[in-house]
Amino acid sequence: MSEEQQAQPQLALERIYTKDISFEVPGAQVFTKEWQPELNINLSSSAEKIDPTHFEVSLKVVVQANNAGETAFIVDVTQSGIFLIDSVEEERLPYILGAYCPNILFPFLRESVNDMVTKGSFPQLLLTPINFDAEFEANLDRAQVAAAEGQA
């Protein structure tokens, strides 16, 4: 097969959308207390193959803010994107789905969380940027250590 006939790798973002969003303020008494929140932030990502060339990648964050021992608010956002990924080397796919695509989605997730929190009458909540490349590498290292310990 000539070089011209070989398929060129393709990677393109086709759509970004908010898959799920929820904001809850359990009680109005939170607005009468001094604001000194404790935040619990859980972030996860997932990827699902839609068809041979498309993947849905999702970032989900759940933020629970506690103030004076009570839940002030809970915000839960899943930001998703549909990515065209074609003729990419199979060994590169986990990195693309686990680091590259989440890097693209994170600013949109961050904006959605901040919008929900400020519309709920709370101070801005700007999630700290995340180095998904470093997180991906750290997860690989943990998996290798766990596999090595399992074989020992």
- Has residue 53 been placed in a domain? yes
Residue 2 falls inside a structural domain: no
Q: Report the C-alpha gap between 29 and 52 in whole angstroms.
A: 51
Domain count, the chain: 1
Q: Which two tokens stand for residue 147?
A: 């596999």
Percent over 90 (pLDDT), the chain: 83
**pLDDT over threshold 60, residue 4:** no
Q: Does residue 110 sit within a domain?
A: yes
Domain that holds residue 79: 10-151
5 in a domain, yes or no?
A: no
Residue 1 has pLDDT above 80, yes or no: no
Note the pTM of the prediction, 2 decimals.
0.87
Number of residues that this document lists for the chain: 152
pLDDT at position 142 is 87
Mean pLDDT of 123-140: 92
With respect to residue 56, please indicate whether it lies within any of the assigned structural domains: yes
